[in-house]
Structures are given as C-alpha cells and as structure tokens.
Structure 1
C-alpha cells in the first residue's frame, strides 16, 4: 500500500511539475515582446514609427510590445544578447557583435533595395565636412581623404557599422599604402593624439550626434549614414550619395538639429553598406512567433504600409523611404552579413 501511495504521489508530483513548466512556458510565450532600439531610433520624433511596428507585431502574435529605448549602442547589443529583449533593430556590425556574444541571436528580416531584392539592399556610409571646408579634401577635381591626417574626426560608436567599422576599414586601406602608416590598424583610429593619424577622435553616440559634432565645429570630418539622418536633411546640390553632394539641415528639423537649421555639409567619401537587420534572440522568442513575425513583415500589406515605407512627399517620419515602390522586407540569413563580419577579422 505504501509503495502504491508513493507511486501515486510521484505521479501527482510529476503532473504538478509539468503543469508548472507549462504555465511558465505559457507565461513566457504570451507575455510582452520587448523590442530594443539603437539611440538613432530612440528619439521622440520616431515614436509614431515605433508604434506602427508595435501594431504589426501585436496583430501578428497577439502579444503586447514594450519598447526599450537606449542612449548607447553597447546597451542595445547587450540587451538583445543577454535575452532581456526579444527583438532588436540594429546595424550589421551590432548584429555581428550580439551574435558573437550569443549565437542564439539571429536575423529575422531586412529591408530590400529599390529593386525589391537583396541585390541592392544597401545604404551609405558618408565621410562629410562642413560646407566651405571641402576644398581642403580635393586632389585635383576629385575628392580624396589624404588630408584627413591630423584632423579632428567624429565617429558614431565603435559598434556602429556605417559610423565606424566601414569607414575605419576604408581609412586603413587607404593610408596603409603609405610608408608612414603601413602598419595602421582600425584600433589605431579609436583615439587621436600625438603620433596618431587623427589629432582627436570624438564619438557622437548616434548618427545625429556625430552630425551635430561636425556642424558645431567640434570635428573637422564626421562619419554617419544617409538613412539615419534622412528625416533631418534635404539634398541641396550635386549627385545624391556621391562625393561632392551637398546636404542641408531642414527648416522643420527636430532635436538635436533645432539650432542648426540651414547648416550645410559636403560628402567627401561614400561607401555602400549592407542594410541593417531586425534580429531576435531565439532563446527567448519561440519559433512559432518568429515565423509569424517574418510572415507579417514580409507581406504585401507591410510593403504597402506608408508608415513603414514612407513616400518621399509624406510628412510622416519613419525608418525607410519609398523610392521605387518595390521596397519591402525580406527574410535573411546570418551568412548574408559575412562581408561586414570579415571587416572585423
């Protein structure tokens, strides 16, 4: 009888444990989805854009969304890597760093190019100087980065793809051809000073911040990307996204550009960069929810959503602009980011 009672008790205990696990799993899979954002997308001016992503996620999964806004790239990377967020929107370099910390962090989808494919799914890393100073960076009729030597330079963050990793690789590739700098490494650009290529190195913390460093004369040259400042600038002259192009801060620009309206800068170098992904930590977001999100965001409904892919003449401030009408989100795999990963090796 004792043995029978022990068996029955064990069965009830097992059932209780299973039920408890089931409850915890249910709670985990039905609780809020936490989405972390870089500083570039954490501003109040993009709140309506973030809310639209919430709406799509909630409709696709039946779960509420909580936004984690940040003031530092490292915080966003750590938050997704350690499982304190389910989803993040981050540059390729940030994704690679998060994946290195936790290989359960994987891409969900990425915005296409104007062709609607991954073939031209790029944005642009700019090296810019304040209008009026551009002739210092000419070699004949063309622009050259030879004269950035000894200058004050503002990067975004050493975890930024277009604001550090890509431009630093370009600078190293250029100057290592010269005997004086033949041993130059990207790490040598992290700070300036005596016997350094750059006299001073600043970090804006965001693409907007590093643009402000340039326009307020804290830096002579700055590296930032086209898409992250698109809501604040207008094309003034020259061929867009080509050296020599001039851009101007718009009259309706929000913070941090409210006191810089009308200020202009000139591109002296332009490099294409792989589009930034939306990623997930697969340790904390179940496969069924991942599939639901990919299906929702790669749908024609989202492709035609003008709060996601914003028409040029719209006053809505979103993350992506519509040019051809073919722009959409596409499922993407880890290996697509290998060209950026190789820059870190």
Structure 2
C-alpha cells in the first residue's frame, strides 16, 4: 500500500506542478459550437443516490439552476456503469463521480472534463484526498496482525467484497495494493488485478462479491457475506462513527450509529476494524463539454468556487452537523477548487 501511496502523491504533485493537460474549455472549439440546452441533467453514482442524500443533491441542483438559469434534472443510478455511460454519451451533462469513473468516461469521450473537486482540510489540492479502506468485522482482526502492525497476508482465500470494478477506492486502489503486496511472494508472483475479479477454488479469493456501492460493500461485511471488504471513509461517514482508535488509521474501529439510514438501519451498533488505509484523489464533478456551453461552463465553475457555495451549510455541512451530506467542513477551509484533467494521471497510472 505504501507503493500506491507514493505513486499517488508523487504523480499528484507532478500533475499539479505541471499544470498541463486539456482544460475543460479547450475541449470546445469554434468549429463545433454547443447547442444551448434548457435542462441540465446530473448523474449520480449509487453511493450518492440514496433518499438520505436527496437534500444534498437538490441543493447542488439549485446552485446549478441559479448559475445557469436552466432547469436541473437528477439522474440517480443503481450501477456505476450507468452514470459513467450517461456522462460519456451526453445523456447526462454533469456527474459526480470517482476518479476511476472519470478516467473511464474521459477515455470514452475526451469532451468529458473535470469541473471542480473538493479541497482538502488545508483548502488546497495538496491534501485533497479521501481514504480507501480494507475492513474486517470487529473481533476478527487478529489474523491480520503482525505484532502491532496490520498486514494483508491472510486475506488470501477469504470471501472478499469490492464495490464495483469501476470504483477507485472500492476496487482500483485496493486491487493494485493487493497485487503489489502479494506479487512479492513466489506463490503469487504472477498475480494481476484481473485475478481478483472472481473467486473460486483455484482463485486468490474463495468468493468475490460486489456491493454495487460503498454502502453495499460495508453491508456485505457486517452481515457476514464477506470476510473482508473494501470501501471508503467518505461514503460511509453518514452512517458510522469512530468507536476507538485514530480515524483513517489501521486499527480504527467504527460503529454503525444510532439513527443510521438504510441500508444500515438494521445494523445499528455493528462494528468493523480498518486493517489497511490508502489515500485516494478526491472525486470530481465532471461535465460533458459537448453538451455544456463554454458560457455555462464558466458560470458553473464560478458558482461552485464562490464564497456563497463554500459557506452554504447545505453543501458543506458544518463540523458539528448531524445531517447527512456529501461534503463537510472540518477546518472551515474546505471548498471547491478548479482542477484539470492531468490531475487524475495518478489514477490512470494504476491501470498501466
């Protein structure tokens, strides 16, 4: 996992320092003007499509409506692929998606470009990351310990839950980390990410499940369907609370909190232990510059990065808020920042 961290951090710095890559506005040319649309469609991943996040989705829709003067329609989904195909094909104009999903959509259609990402706690891109976790049920963590450290050796042969093979923190990063770790061992020296897609008697995992969302992968773990599960911190933060240990550090124990919404409402009090933590580049709001005009693109970027949105408590929840949301103020410096395509090159590198 240290190798993955080094790759992500080093390439992120290169991408930011270089400032290269195609800008969203560069994807449009005078020779191919964009026809003005009266309705802007936003596609949402399954992770953000739940009823508990409707207010957060609607508030961001209002930001877009106010900025452009156009009506907004929300396209919630049950599968990563649906959202990725929607933005790539132009059936959606805006999408909130993980880095891997963005890279896949951009590969399908170069007119898909990043608009903004949420900053880190510093208010900059330097720490604009969230965290990919590998988790086991509380009380079952000892086989994954070596002294005071947590190790992955004993995940081989287990029932494992990913999120989706288009998920950055729920597949791409953990699978790359698993391959990097185990390929140093003679028995697994030829291991590839493709070997992790399915389980079986002669496979790396005895069984492989897909949660369809980070919440779904966590449920697979807590209900006993999986022995180990990959999911990220931000997508379950509305449903769990730190019970012991240090947040986003191996050994941290999280508990499903009272009042947690579906699909955790029947799992109140259930606990899990984090055994591996890897930082991941923050998720972008992406746009299709073939369906969003350059004029509207500028309006959207200006709106998202404005003080009004930064200080909007329904967009960036206050630190002490108990509400469910997509973004939260921890230091008071968090905000949306413009970002270019090259910033996501570290994610592209994981596929090479």
By how many angstroms is 1:195 displaced?
Answer: 2.0
User: Alignment partner for residue 166 of structure 2, among 123, 142, 159?
Assistant: 159
Q: Provide the residue aligned with 1:302 in structure 2.
A: 309
Map 1:74-89 → 2, pairs under 5 A = 74-89=81-96
Q: Output the CA distance in 1 between the equivalents of 2:214 and 2:239.
A: 11
* CA distance, structure 1, for counterparts of residue 272 and residue 318 of structure 2: 25
| 1:59 corresponds to | 66
1:315 positional shift: 2.7
Provide the rounded CA distance (Å) in 1 between the counterparts of 2:64 and 2:323: 20
The CA distance in 2 between the partners of 1:154 and 1:30, in whole Å, is 41
- Which gives a bigger RCO, structure 1 or 2 (Cα 8 Å, sep 6+)? 2
Q: 1:209 aligns with which of 212, 216, 231?
A: 216
Question: Structure 1 CA distance, aligned partners of 2:309 and 2:38?
Answer: 24
The alignment yields a C-alpha RMSD, in angstroms, of 1.3
| Conservation of the 8 A alpha-carbon contact between 1:307 and 1:316 | no
1:111 lines up with 2:130 in the alignment: no
1:255 counterpart = 2:262 = yes
Looking at structure 1, the residues matched to 255 and 301 of structure 2 have their Cα atoms a distance apart, in angstroms, of 37
Question: Matched residues in 2 for 1:134 and 1:220: separation?
Answer: 10
**Structure 1 gap ranges (5+):** 1-24
Structure 2, unpaired ranges of 5+: 1-31
CA-CA distance at 1:316 after TM superposition:
2.4
Inter-partner Cα distance in structure 1 for 2:287 and 2:33: 19
| Secondary structure of 2:241 counterpart | strand
Counterpart contact for 2:37–2:291, Cα < 8 Å: no
User: How far apart in 2 are the matches of 1:251 and 1:212?
Assistant: 16
Number of residue pairs aligned between Structure 1 and Structure 2: 321
* Contact kept in structure 1, 2:112 and 2:289, CA below 8 Å: yes
2:164 and 2:210 in contact (8 A); partners too: yes
**Cα contact 1:163–1:224 (8 A) shared by 2:** yes
Partner residue of 2:137?
130
C-alpha contact 1:86 1:280 (8 A) present in aligned 2: yes
Q: For residue 319 of structure 2, what is the aligned residue in structure 1?
A: 312
Q: Deviations over 1:112-141 (max 9, x none)?
A: 000000000000000000001011111122
The separation in 2 between residues aligned to 1:109 and 1:132, in whole angstroms, is: 40
Q: Distance in 1 between matches of 2:343 and 2:37?
A: 31
Whether the 8 Å contact between 2:250 and 2:275 is mirrored in structure 1 is yes
CA distance in 2 between counterparts of 1:321 and 1:211 reads 21
Alignment of 1:1-345 (within 5 A): 28-345=35-352
- Dislocated runs of 4+, deviation >6 Å: none
- Work out whether residues 155 and 204 of structure 1, in 8 Å CA contact, stay in contact via their aligned partners in 2: yes
Q: Distance in 2 between matches of 1:136 and 1:315?
A: 35
- Give 1:313 deviation, angstroms: 1.6
